[in-house]
């Protein structure tokens, strides 16, 4: 017997990718429900190569019909609907930021802290981390196992797909408009995104950081607990459609060599190291679209501290940064905690 699965936010970038990923990985599902807001009722979305699903209203859906619901419908929907689904006996895996720092809600990257899933039943809600956090901790975990990490300084180069379909449309339309001498209009971003970079993702906080930067710090500490890692992030939106890049500087509390770091990351599941000190000897966001792994390049010693390394980290933010990680959580959940009799 298989599982009954709902995807909430099925018409969005990540929701569609969740459906694709469930199909690609042959998740043991007997039935799939595609849910979205009332304005999407009647639309169809694809599941696999030959199945179209009619979109149902998430607000009125009976979640007792399903075993697991993958949510990617934003914080407000997660706030309202996730408890309703959980109370109906459905396990929620939520991609928004709403539940991530909630006590009793596991924040999980299966390769890094899969054991945290054991606490899922406290609320029947599991949180999927921020896209940039996921790919960074995938690189950090094998290094932390060699030498304790003290401090991280990270600059992100985040694609517009992380802000949704309308943001992707804005980049396309602005780029096209510049070439035909049509003044770019900005609606999704605070500045023109075409041929530009914007050091502003999410809202500003009192200390001058943005919430995206704050999320990377607090989420990293929760996932990597009990390690108390200091994280200072600068998050930047760049005119790329899919794929996030990160320049990560790491200070350790003990010695670690470049060779040890490369070896550990190569052996870690879900990480690929492509690191040649020559032209094209590194991976860029354009090359990782559709890829499941996180890719590491430019590993080198930081000579300004006693024990430091710098590296370049890229990943598909719609896959491992969101949909794939959520599906992997579901796979671990059914394997360990929700076996069908």
Continuous H helices in 211-323:
211-224, 258-267, 285-288
C-alpha distances (whole Å) from 31 to each of 28, 90, 157, 318 are 9, 14, 38, 23
Rounded distance, CA 319 to CA 194, Å?
24
Q: Are 43 and 33 in contact (CB under 8 A)?
A: no
* Coil vs helix vs strand at 236: strand
Q: Is 195 helix (H, G, I), strand (E, B) or coil?
A: coil
Cα–chain center distance at 308 = 26
Catalytic residue among 90, 131, 235, 313: 131
Round to whole Å and give the CA distance between 146 and 157: 27
Q: What values do phi and psi take at 256, rounded to 5?
A: -155, 135
Whether the ω angle into residue 7 lies within 30 degrees of 0, i.e. cis, is: no
Query: Catalytic pick from 90, 235, 244, 313?
Result: 244
Q: Is 131 a catalytic residue?
A: yes
The structure tokens listed for 89 are 């006996």
Q: How far apart are the first and last CA of the chain?
A: 8
The catalytic residue positions are 131, 244
């Amino acid at each position: 017997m298989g599982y009954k699965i709902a995807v909430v936010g099925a018409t969005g970038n990540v929701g569609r990718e969740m459906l694709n990923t469930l199909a690609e990985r042959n998740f043991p599902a007997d039935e799939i429900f595609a849910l979205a807001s009332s304005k999407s009722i009647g639309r169809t979305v694809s599941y696999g190569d030959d199945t179209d699903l009619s979109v149902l209203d998430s607000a009125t859906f009976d979640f007792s019909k399903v075993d697991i619901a993958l949510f990617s419908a934003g914080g407000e929907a997660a706030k309202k609907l996730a408890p309703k689904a959980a109370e109906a006996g459905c396990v929620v895996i939520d991609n928004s930021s709403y539940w991530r720092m909630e006590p009793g809600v596991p924040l999980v990257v299966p390769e890094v802290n899969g054991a945290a899933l054991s606490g899922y039943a406290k609320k029947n809600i599991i949180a999927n981390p921020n896209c940039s956090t996921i790919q960074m901790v995938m690189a950090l975990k094998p290094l932390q196992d060699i030498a304790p990490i003290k401090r991280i300084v990270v600059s992100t180069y985040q694609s517009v797909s992380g802000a949704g379909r309308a943001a992707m449309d804005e980049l396309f339309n602005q780029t096209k408009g510049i070439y035909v001498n049509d003044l770019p209009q900005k609606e999704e971003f605070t500045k023109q995104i075409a041929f530009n970079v914007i050091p502003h993702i999410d809202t500003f906080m009192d200390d001058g950081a943005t919430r995206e930067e704050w999320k990377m710090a607090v989420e990293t500490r929760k996932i990597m607990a009990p390690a108390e890692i200091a994280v200072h992030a600068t998050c930047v939106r760049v005119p790329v459609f899919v794929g996030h890049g990160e320049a990560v500087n790491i200070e350790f509390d003990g010695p670690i060599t470049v060779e040890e770091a490369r070896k550990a990351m190569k052996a870690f599941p879900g990480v690929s190291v492509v690191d040649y000190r020559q032209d094209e000897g590194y991976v860029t966001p354009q090359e990782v679209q559709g890829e499941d792994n996180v890719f590491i390049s430019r590993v080198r010693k930081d000579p300004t501290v006693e024990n430091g390394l710098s590296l370049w980290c890229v990943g598909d933010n719609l896959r491992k940064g969101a949909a794939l990680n959520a599906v992997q959580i579901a796979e671990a959940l059914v394997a360990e905690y929700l076996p069908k009799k």
